[in-house]
Amino acid sequence: MIPDVDCDSIVYLNGDYVRLGDAKISVLDRGFIFGDGIYDVVPAYNGKPFRMDGHLARLERSLAAIDIKVDLKRSDWEQLVNDLIKRSGLGDCMVYVQVSRGVAKRDHAFPKDTKPTVFCMVTPFTRPGAAAREQGLSTVGMTDIRWLRCEIKSVSLLGNVLAKQYAVDAGVDEVLQFRDGYLSEGSSCNIWVVKDGVLLAPPRSNLILEGIRYGLLEELAAEAGIAFNARPISQQEAESADELMLSSATKEILPITTHNGKPVGTGKPGKVYAALRAGYDKAIAAL
Ligand code: PDD
């Protein structure tokens, strides 16, 4: 028994569909030993994956970035994600996909001829509720201590884990991480800043994970006639923003209304948030 985990749910492991409670991998798996693997999280609404193409393209980029070769084509991944959702019988859910470099004698260098470990599971997803949408979230600032390849969706997440725990210990919902005085991202989400009606985000680079919602919010801003600018954002600018928001597969888009114990702008979700949220809900409804 693992608290809050449905061990009877069906997962995919290396070609087989098995009960989560029966899915086993070797202690020598390099994902376990070195954090040598990548992952992605695809949200689905009413049983239909949302922006799956973007998620699978990022999965393939992450695999290529660390030179893991899997004999699954794009269409195989699509089928796998759809199959798992169907088997789960879930409506709103998250599909977690992980690939590690596989099982080998412990040695830092890449092993030769090792088959990657492929694991997928589906978990129920409860969309952010009225409290988060209407009252907003709280954040604190902290130094970004992570490595310099944050664009890879790596399972080596110790920096992100410590960042999230920093938020929990501070009694807030999330962190805003800063590297050399400039905003990077949250522990597991992208951060958005509004100043004088313009939507700002740190540029796509090795310093952030480009969320699938990054491109989506760019599109939604254009549709709503909101100017968007991707550029470095100083800590001072983030701290004096008119609005702050975060985005991720699990949080969708949510307003941040308190930062470092002070109200952000008016202390209430702002107009730009409201426009992007309306666009996001419309995109989901159109699935
Ligand atoms: N995290 N930045 C980081 C560090 C993330 O871990 C995530 C997502 C994002 C947002 O990406 P997207 O919009 O594609 O969800 C940004 C997922 C949800 C996770 O680790 O569970």
Ligand 1 atom 11, closest CA: 211
3-state secondary structure 98-137: EEECCECCCCCCCCCCCCCEEEEEEEECCCCCHHHHHHCE
Question: With contact defined as beta carbons under 8 Å apart, do 65 and 149 qualify?
Answer: yes
Beta strands in the chain (DSSP E): 10-13, 16-19, 37-45, 48-49, 93-100, 117-124, 137-143, 174-179, 182-183, 190-195, 198-201, 228-230, 243-248, 252-259, 262-263
| Ligand 1 midpoint to CA 281 (Å) | 19
Considering the domain architecture, whether residues 90 and 147 belong to the same structural domain is answered as: no
Q: What is the average pLDDT across 156-185?
A: 98
Q: Which of 97, 248, 250, 254 to mutate to test the pocket of ligand 1 (most atoms within 8 A of CB)?
A: 248
Its domain, for residue 24, covers: 10-124
Q: Does 4 fall in a domain?
A: no
Q: Does 2 fall in a domain?
A: no
Query: Residue 1 pLDDT > 90, yes or no?
Result: no
Query: Residue 231 pLDDT > 90, yes or no?
Result: yes
pLDDT tens digits, 250-261: 999 999 999 999
Q: Does 98 fall in a domain?
A: yes
Q: Which of 122, 146, 160, 188 to mutate to test the pocket of ligand 1 (most atoms within 8 A of CB)?
A: 188
Query: Residue 131 pLDDT > 90, yes or no?
Result: yes
pLDDT tens digits, 189-201: 999 999 999 999 9
Q: What is the average pLDDT across 262-285?
A: 98
Q: How confident is the model at residue 125 (pLDDT cuts 50, 70, 90)?
A: very high
Percent of the chain with pLDDT over 70: 100
Q: Does 203 fall in a domain?
A: yes
Q: Does 3 fall in a domain?
A: no
213 C-beta closer than 6 A to ligand 1: yes
Q: Which atom of ligand 1 is nearest to the CA of 153?
A: 6
pLDDT tens digits, 38-77: 999 999 999 999 999 999 999 999 999 999 999 999 999 9
Residues 6 or more apart whose CB falls under 8 angstroms from that of 213 comprise: 190, 247, 248, 249, 252, 253
Residues 6 or more apart whose CB falls under 8 angstroms from that of 149 comprise: 65, 206
Mean residue pLDDT across the chain: 98
Q: What is the average pLDDT across 4-26?
A: 97
pLDDT tens digits, 96-107: 999 999 999 999
Considering the domain architecture, whether residues 164 and 276 belong to the same structural domain is answered as: yes
| CA 156/CA 282 separation, integer angstroms | 34
Q: What is the pLDDT of residue 270?
A: 98
Ligand 1 atom 1, closest CA: 188
Q: Which of 163, 169, 173 is nearest to 135 (CA)?
A: 173
The total number of structural domains that make up the chain: 2
The catalytic site residues sit at 153
Considering the domain architecture, whether residues 135 and 116 belong to the same structural domain is answered as: no
Q: What is the pLDDT of residue 23?
A: 98
248 C-beta closer than 6 A to ligand 1: yes
19: left (phi over 0), alpha (psi -120 to 50) or beta: beta
Percent of the chain with pLDDT over 90: 100
Considering the domain architecture, whether residues 98 and 186 belong to the same structural domain is answered as: no
Q: Does 30 fall in a domain?
A: yes
| Ligand 1 midpoint to CA 262 (Å) | 26
Q: What is the pLDDT of residue 124?
A: 98
